[in-house]
Amino acid sequence: MTRGYNFCSGPAMLPEAVMLKAQQELPNWRNTGMSVMELSHRSDEFVSVVSDAEARLRQLLDISDDYGVIFTQGGATLQFSCVPMNLIARGSGAEFLDTGAWSVKSIKEAERYGPVRVLASTKDKHYRHAVRAEDFQVSPDASYLHYTPNETIGGVEFNYVPESGKVPLVADMSSCILSQTIDVSRFGLIYAGAQKNIGPAGLTLVIVRKDLLGQTLPGTPSLLDYQAQIDQGSMVNTPPTFAIYLAGLVFEWLQEQGGVPAMQQLNEAKSQLLYDFVDASGFYRNPIDPVHRSRMNVPFILADETLNERFLAEADKAGLYNLQGHRSVGGMRASIYNAMPLAGVQALVTFMKEFERRYG
Amino acid sequence: MTRGYNFCSGPAMLPEAVMLKAQQELPNWRNTGMSVMELSHRSDEFVSVVSDAEARLRQLLDISDDYGVIFTQGGATLQFSCVPMNLIARGSGAEFLDTGAWSVKSIKEAERYGPVRVLASTKDKHYRHAVRAEDFQVSPDASYLHYTPNETIGGVEFNYVPESGKVPLVADMSSCILSQTIDVSRFGLIYAGAQKNIGPAGLTLVIVRKDLLGQTLPGTPSLLDYQAQIDQGSMVNTPPTFAIYLAGLVFEWLQEQGGVPAMQQLNEAKSQLLYDFVDASGFYRNPIDPVHRSRMNVPFILADETLNERFLAEADKAGLYNLQGHRSVGGMRASIYNAMPLAGVQALVTFMKEFERRYG
């Protein structure tokens, strides 16, 4: 079996150890005579899969009992609706920081549900840096402040947690959750699509401070009511059972690797290696303000863009997959989430050096 | 590897051949160097997985181009909201036939979005039969008529397709899709959670006549807008990629088995065997009107209910799993979807005979 290094922004590479364990257990999980995806979601066995996954996540992120953990569906895109449906009625409207494509989507969707104010945007700076702490002030009666700690497409990452006072801070952590230590108690709500740092597409994670709930808008589907999901242990209906099982395996793998601090160290080493190489090169370039560069998604541009196709084709041959940038921005992008080993980034740098030597 | 016979109502048994193929391909799909769940959803490879699955489904159910096929998330429960969000504004309100627990849930959820009228209910008959054709009349200006062709919990199945004239007929086929031939052109919309006859939990299928769309309620999340999903080939955002892949394998397996007509024949044989045995026995009993008995979910009661625990424990030992009835009704239930072979039902009948001999 030859597995390559997959730099896709999501669905992304998963740890090989997790893939092999899932493979081994697939048709007959723990001698139950069936696959984990064939277990009743209400069986003791599967309920233990969910509670084990939740316990591991709580340990990894040090989540207190003040917070509910929900395993749900629909990706961050559905959360763009769910967050205002559940929280916008608790204040005078939602406030946003706009740092790129995913911020914009979250803002547009929220506008359907109540007043929305964009406090600061780096759009006129071509999203080349994150919003700075001194550039906004949250209204004390705001329903919540929403931001995107890491913009997957632009490769822009906040290097601080925004101050929102008593206003709940809401973060779309789809592309950075579990990649660096965070203080969950600073947040009112964290959500993340699974397909980057957690598991397969089709699972979405919500971590929410329970005291914020209870003012859901009329017309909110029961499945999307956070309170109902917390009350029923993510089982308002049949949850995406196999995806939750895989997430549990990823959480276990993370614990074995030394948890989130070890991942943060690894992710800093990987991204530093790549940015240092790009910056030292006259052939590759990254346009983002160095203090706001993403440790998860590293976009770079070739000096000669006519070489793009050749770069991608040769990388592919070298087992370095999915380096094309997002279709909206072009260029290249290396997404280097938790499951990407240092050796993968080293192989990429070696390849990029050699490509530069031949075509630079 | 010893896989048993899993009679769970859902997540349900999947074909063993599908499980084994998925196992083999799990870490490295078609020599791509990655799992199918690690493929970019926008890659040519994965787009072909989706279009192949859709083409197979269209062939299996003979779905015309007048209909869009959507692979989405959230289960039937989220469709209970999505259907009115997308269709209720096109007429004077939604009309329902109530034949059990799932009908009731769909009605309650729809009431949040507009006028709802229950045309007929068999609740006062303890849901022991389906609504009969002569017991209701659809309003000509209704937005749609909704019914549940097969009630999973009660084990009640319509033996006809309700006549709704020009009013679109909407069916929750979660527990009967692909189990018998249907004329899709009779329906305005069909939806189904995957975890019974299609694939793993976390995938939901919607088949909708395209000319019915375009009057979505304000406040409908973009992900839940059928028109947007059709326009974007189920990729408004990252779809549940691995679940779609598995559904495609199930569709392929169905084609290999002889398609839906072969499944119908098998399902009739399986259910007939079980009902005949139950009816002939003084020890087991099924309360449903024989003309409306479900071919997918066969509930039965032991004459002596104090033997329930023993029955379940001994069945389990015999490799016959998950025969407990739904927690709301008790007793036993054998769910015998497409993936349950005739041999599984034969083994169950043999076990039931022997159990009756010893304890009857």
Q: What is the pLDDT of residues B268-281, one digit of tens each?
A: 999 999 999 999 99
Which residues of chain B from 53 to 82 reach within 8 Å of chain A, CB to CB?
73-78, 80-82
In angstroms, rounded to a whole number, what is the distance separating the alpha carbons of residues A338 and A45? 28
Q: How many Å lie between the alpha carbon of A133 and the closest alpha carbon of chain B?
A: 31
pLDDT average, residue stretch B123-150? 97
The DSSP secondary structure of B249-278, one letter per residue, reads: HHHHHHHHHTHHHHHHHHHHHHHHHHHHHH
pLDDT value at residue A360: 85
Residue A102 annotated to the active site: yes
Q: Check if B19 contacts A (Cβ < 8 Å).
A: yes
Q: Which residue of B has its CA nearest to A202?
A: B240
Q: Check if A114 contacts B (Cβ < 8 Å).
A: no
Q: Tokens 């196709």 label which residue?
A: A309
Q: Check if A216 contacts B (Cβ < 8 Å).
A: no
3-state secondary structure of A324: strand
Task: Please tell me what DSSP assigns to residue B324.
Answer: B
3-state secondary structure of A199: coil
Residue A29 annotated to the active site: no
By DSSP bridging, strand B169-172 and strand B144-147 are parallel
With 0-12 CB in 10 A as exposed, 13-18 as middle and 19+ as buried, what is B64?
Answer: exposed
Q: How many Å lie between the alpha carbon of B282 and the closest alpha carbon of chain A?
A: 30
- Record the tokens describing residue B310, joined without a space: 């023993």
pLDDT class of B1 with cuts at 50, 70, 90: very low
pLDDT value at residue B360: 85
Residues A73, B73 contacting (CB under 8 angstroms): yes
Taking Cα atoms as reference points, which of B161, B133, B102, B135 lies closest to residue B297?
B102
* Across A43-47, A328-332, B55-59, B257-261, least confident range: A328-332
Count A/B contacts: CB-CB distance under 8 Å: 219
* Across A182-191, B323-332, B338-347, least confident range: B323-332
Arithmetic mean of pLDDT over chain B:
97
Q: State the Cα angle at B263 between B262 and B264, rounded to 5°.
A: 90
Domains and CATH numbers, chain A: 17-256 (3.40.640.10), 259-359 (3.90.1150.10)
pLDDT value at residue A3: 85
Q: How many Å lie between the alpha carbon of A141 and the closest alpha carbon of chain B?
A: 23
- Record the tokens describing residue B309, joined without a space: 């625990």
Q: Which residue of A has its CA nearest to B82?
A: A221
Please list the pLDDT of chain A residue by residue as tens digits (360 residues): 478 999 999 999 999 999 999 999 999 999 999 999 999 999 999 999 999 999 999 999 999 999 999 999 999 999 999 999 999 999 999 999 999 999 999 999 999 999 999 999 999 999 999 999 999 999 999 999 999 999 999 999 999 999 999 999 999 999 999 999 999 999 999 999 999 999 999 999 999 999 999 999 999 999 999 999 999 999 999 999 999 999 999 999 999 999 999 999 999 999 999 999 999 999 999 999 999 999 999 999 999 999 999 999 999 999 999 999 998 888 999 999 999 999 999 999 999 999 999 998
Provide, rounded to the nearest whole percent, the portion of chain B with pLDDT above 70: 100
Q: Which residue of B has its CA nearest to A241?
A: B201
Reply yes or no on whether the pLDDT at B283 is more than 50. yes
Q: Which residues of A touch B236 (CB under 8 A)?
A: 77
Tell me whether the omega of the peptide bond preceding residue B11 falls within 30 degrees of 0, making it cis.
yes
Q: Cα A157 from chain centroid?
A: 12
Cβ contacts of B98 within 8 Å, gap of 6 or more: B104, B107, B118, B120, B121, B122, B123, B131
Q: Do A27 and B222 touch (CB under 8 A)?
A: no
- Record the tokens describing residue A210, joined without a space: 């329970």
**Looking at the partner chain, which of B16, B238, B327 has a beta carbon nearest the beta carbon of A75?**
B238
In angstroms, rounded to a whole number, what is the distance separating the alpha carbons of residues B360 and B351? 13
Q: How many Å lie between the alpha carbon of A37 and the closest alpha carbon of chain B?
A: 6
In angstroms, rounded to a whole number, what is the distance separating the alpha carbons of residues B292 and B160? 9
Q: What is the pLDDT of residues B177-217, one digit of tens each?
A: 999 999 999 999 999 999 999 999 999 999 999 999 999 99
Rg (CA), chain A: 21
Q: H/E/C letters for each residue in B32-101?
A: CCCCHHHCCCCCHHHHHHHHHHHHHHHHHHCCCCCEEEEEECCHHHHHHHHHHHHHHHHCCCEEEEECCH
Q: Which residues of B touch A80 (CB under 8 A)?
A: 221-222
In angstroms, rounded to a whole number, what is the distance separating the alpha carbons of residues B82 and B170? 12
In angstroms, rounded to a whole number, what is the distance separating the alpha carbons of residues A123 and B189? 42
pLDDT value at residue A1: 47
Residues B251, B244 contacting (CB under 8 angstroms): no
User: Which residue is catalytic, options B65, B135, B166, B172?
Assistant: B172
pLDDT value at residue B121: 98
Q: Do B242 and A202 touch (CB under 8 A)?
A: yes
- Record the tokens describing residue B337, joined without a space: 């979807």
In angstroms, rounded to a whole number, what is the distance separating the alpha carbons of residues A321 and B31? 13
Give whole-number Cα distances, A234 to A71, A231, A240, B256, in Å.
6, 8, 10, 36
**Looking at the partner chain, which of A11, A319, A321 has a beta carbon nearest the beta carbon of B37?**
A11
In angstroms, rounded to a whole number, what is the distance separating the alpha carbons of residues A5 and A320? 5
Q: Do B243 and A241 touch (CB under 8 A)?
A: no
